Structure 1
Amino acid sequence: MKLRLKATLAVACMLIEIPLAIAEPTTAPAVLRDAWSTAEREVLASMQLSRAEPRSADPSNAFEGRAEAVSLGRDLFRDPQLSRNGQIACASCHSPSAQFEDGRPQGQGLGSGSRRTQPVMGAMGAPFLFWDGRKDSLWSQALGPLENPLEQGTNRVRLVGLVRARYATRYAALFGPLPALNALPAAASPLGSPSEQAAWWAMPKETRDQVDRVFANLGKAIAAYESRVQYGPARFDRYIRATLAGDAAGQSALAAKEVRGLRLFLGKGQCSTCHNGPMLSDQAFHNTGVPPLDPQHPDPGRAAAVGLLLDDPFNCLGAFSDARPDQCGELSFLVSADPRQLGAFRTPSLRNVAARAPYMHAGQLRSLAEVIRHYVEAPAAALGRSELARAGQGDAQRAPIRLAPEEIDDLVAFLGSLTGPVVQP
């Protein structure tokens, strides 16, 4: 009898508990304002700045990760005495207060250059640098402007004297004691004036090598600083994070107009074909028919740079690199005779792009709207062959880009959402 009563009470309790469990309030998942397909979500996820994997230190620069190198490099970057006239620093064209560039159509140093100054942010992750990719490391890139007669225009022997006078203790703590080099000429360089070149080749090879080593180490210190200058997260990154997390409120990081522009960016605008990944750049070289600065002398771009890169004594395989040959894969397998390189230029990052007018490799286009209209119009290239397809000329790789005026406005609005802070040491 007692057993039956216990069983009856147990059943009764179960019957009472069941409706109570069903009646408990539940919170329905928020409905996202903007729906994206699984494939689109995967693409968006790949574009998050947080997906930029921390790059291992440049194997060709053994000093990149050292705090002393960052500190020395910062001071060298800002020192105008690294120029022939003592007035032009790296920071003169790459201003830390202005997106690490100068806002000019073409760079301006001791003279006027023929290409646009590129920002420092994100450069450490690029396999090739400059618009034409003629350098393969951040430290080697830093050396070029020092002796370029249109930029800082100094020479490497003078730089050795500058290091001895202003940075000897800090240099020695990082790289070891400076070589004696007591009988150097006042000015000498293999890239300088005829008299500077003559003075350079008159020096013994051992002396030239010692000067080159100091010169290379200056670049390595500057690169250590530049490698710490990075893009910070933009509203675009907050929107992606919210979308992937199912955060309906967080999607307000982008306005409806900007979201329409994002859909165009991923779809019919074909922008993400080249502007992809966390840096919104494929780091490759493309001919898109950008009008030349000088129609009589169009810029050959990448085609003219490959030979310069291979012959550069400061490349990854050179005597002043800290890398093993097997760590220089990009250089080892470089294609030197590709007709597609004629008139091709490196894909720039679109991060902070709205803050960096004018655009293209020589500042030929004044606004983002002009840039987009250029891709819609797809003019023929002045040199080489444009990759852009024109109406009636689509191929397996591309189709003509067709955007209405209001769609161009939406796309410009989206590009504004890519602007974030600049993080610097």
Structure 2
Amino acid sequence: MRPGAHPVVGRSLLAVLGPALLALGLTACGARVHEWSLEEQSRLRALWIESLPPLPPDPSNAVADDPAAAALGHALFFEPRLSRDGRVSCASCHQPARHFTDGKPRGEGLGTARRHTPSIVGASYSPWQFWDGRRDSQWAQAIVPLEDPAEHGGDRSAYARLIAERYREPYEAIFGPLPPLEDRRRFPQHAGPVADSGAATAWRAMAAADRRAVTQVFVNIGKSLAAYERRIQPGAGRFDTYVAAVLAGDRQTARRTFDADEAAGLRLFIGPARCTDCHAGPRLTNDSFHNIGLPLRESGWDAAGKPRPLSIEELFDPGREAGVIEAIEDASNCLGPWSDAPPEACAELRFARVDGDPLVGAFKVPSLRNVAETAPYMHDGRFASLAELLQHYNTAPLAIAGHSDLTPLGLRDHELSQIEAFLRTIDGAVSADRSWLAPPAQR
């Protein structure tokens, strides 16, 4: 207080003005939270849903953008008879209400799958499918679970017969006549290159031309499913509303859309935490493969509650190292006999990296769209919450094989909470007509 000032008056002024000054300070601080440099705005624009480019074509699938094929694929996606026991459909694991995931650590069909169920939302933008990228198109991916004994567990002859009995008219309008499946001598009820010994034996006994005819129907099922899945794309959420406000200079809407912690988490996400090194672009993924140093799994338990030692495959999953070889050897790849693409359209496959330390234990970077609603996380569903996931990135343990691409974030607890708060804003309904998200009329 200056000499000569009255102490009572000074205290009175402080009592009166103090709260107002504090409020002004907080308001100014809150406003600064929503101030972004031009460089930061450029980074935000790159993540904005409005920056999503047009859907890339799939030259390996001639009906990828055919509305009739999409309609057939829609029906098949929700068709439980597309399984050995008539109870498992694609939607059993890829549930529309869960953003096309299932909320389980590992997929469950007729058995338990090796890996967590990834979302199909926006997957048509990716050149590689599955966590390890072992297929190079959505249609090639779609047919794998149909014959997997832990998933749909059926065989291609039975699936072709289902098409003939239930979907003949739409199928033949798109692909032409079905083979004469009513001839049981040529086309057994159950046949296919599958684990079931009876179906496998029947498959080997079929004439090569008849095997090709059935496989063509099987492939066309996959291409129809892919045509449907291409309609399932990410939509705008609260994060996108915030970015739009920032880019428009609309601070009022920005403050109304994000609180201080969410904005701080976003600043960490695009800045010091370097999350956008991998989670880049409007889908928040670069569609590449990385080893992030996941530790060995602990032993499991059997049905009786006794410890069950894990197999080598469960202890360590080679990921992309094995996946890329499988993709190259797969008959349904872009260069294979079932592809509609000319060889020059298959650059991703032709020039794929096939060896080297970076592939060992590497898995595909998932999209973060609706990440808060699609737990658990990682290829094996090991992390039940975003907090667990962020703690792993914060400590970044060394890889047990290969080389981890992570470096420890070293963030404080409140900073991790801020990133989690931001991640919860990357929500948004699927960008598709609502009719695509439910089964069509029963056949």
Sort the TM-score into its range (normalised by shorter chain): 0.7 to 0.9
Q: Is 1:414 the equivalent of 2:422?
A: yes
Alignment of 1:143-292 (within 5 A): 143-181=143-181, 182=183, 183-252=186-255, 253-292=257-296
Matched letter for residue 265 of structure 1: F
Task: Please tell me whether the aligned partners of residues 33 and 263 of structure 2 are also in contact (alpha carbons under 8 angstroms).
Answer: no
The number of residue pairs the alignment matches comes to: 385
Matched residue type, 2:247: L
- Listed one character per residue, the Cα deviations across residues 126-163 of structure 1 (whole Å, up to 9, x for unaligned) are 00011000011111111011000000000001111111
Contact 1:32–1:247 (Cα < 8 Å) also in 2: no
State the AA in 2 paired with 1:285: F
Radius of gyration: which is bigger?
Answer: 1
Q: Give the secondary structure class of the aligned counterpart of 2:209.
A: helix
Residue identity matched to 1:360? M
Unaligned runs of 5+ in 1: 1-30, 390-399
Distance 2:263 2:219 in 1: 46
**1:105-144 superposed matches below 5 A:** 105-144=105-144
Cα deviation code 1:267-293 (max 9, x no counterpart)? 221211100001100100000012344
Residue 343 of structure 1 is matched in structure 2 by: 361
The aligned amino acid for 1:422 is V
Are 2:74 and 1:70 aligned?
A: no
Q: Say if 1:275 and 1:281, in contact at 8 Å, map to a contact too.
A: yes
> Compared with structure 1, are the counterparts of its residues 293 and 69 closer, same or farther at alpha carbon in structure 2 (3 Å cutoff)?
farther
CA contact (8 A) 1:94 1:100 kept: yes
Measured after TM superposition, the shift of residue 68 of structure 1 is 1.0
1:117 Cα shift? 0.3
Equivalent position SS for 2:199: helix
TM-score by length of 2: 0.84
Q: Quote the offset at 1:202 in angstroms.
A: 1.9
* AA in 2 matched with 1:185: P
Q: Is 2:405 the partner of 1:387?
A: yes
Q: Partner letter of residue 229 of structure 1?
A: I
Between 1:177-186 and 1:300-309, the stretch displaced more is: 177-186
Comparing 376-385 with 220-229, greater Cα deviation is found at: 376-385
| 8 Å CA contact 1:78, 1:89 repeated in 2 | yes
Letter in 2 for 1:101: T
Aligned to 2:4: none
Residue 377 in 1 paired to residue 398 in 2? no
SS at match of 2:392: helix
Distance 1:382 1:196 in 2: 40
Tell me how far apart the structure 2 counterparts of residues 32 and 287 of structure 1 sit (CA, whole Å). 37
Q: Secondary structure of the equivalent of 2:158?
A: helix
CA displacement, residues 296-353 of structure 1 (integer Å, 9 cap, x when unaligned): 5311111111111111111111111111111111001011112211110000000100
How far 1:70 moved relative to its partner?
Answer: 1.3
How far, CA to CA, are the matches of 1:191 and 1:43 in structure 2?
48
List structure 1 segments (4+ residues) > 4 angstroms apart after TM superposition. none
Q: Is the 8 A contact 1:300 1:343 kept in 2?
A: yes
**Separation in structure 1 between the aligned mates of residue 379 and residue 33 of structure 2, nearest angstrom:** 38
- Mapped partners of 1:302, 1:268: distance in 2: 28
Match of 1:364 in 2: 382
Q: Percent identity?
A: 44
In the TM superposition, residue 118 of structure 1 has moved relative to its aligned partner by 0.6
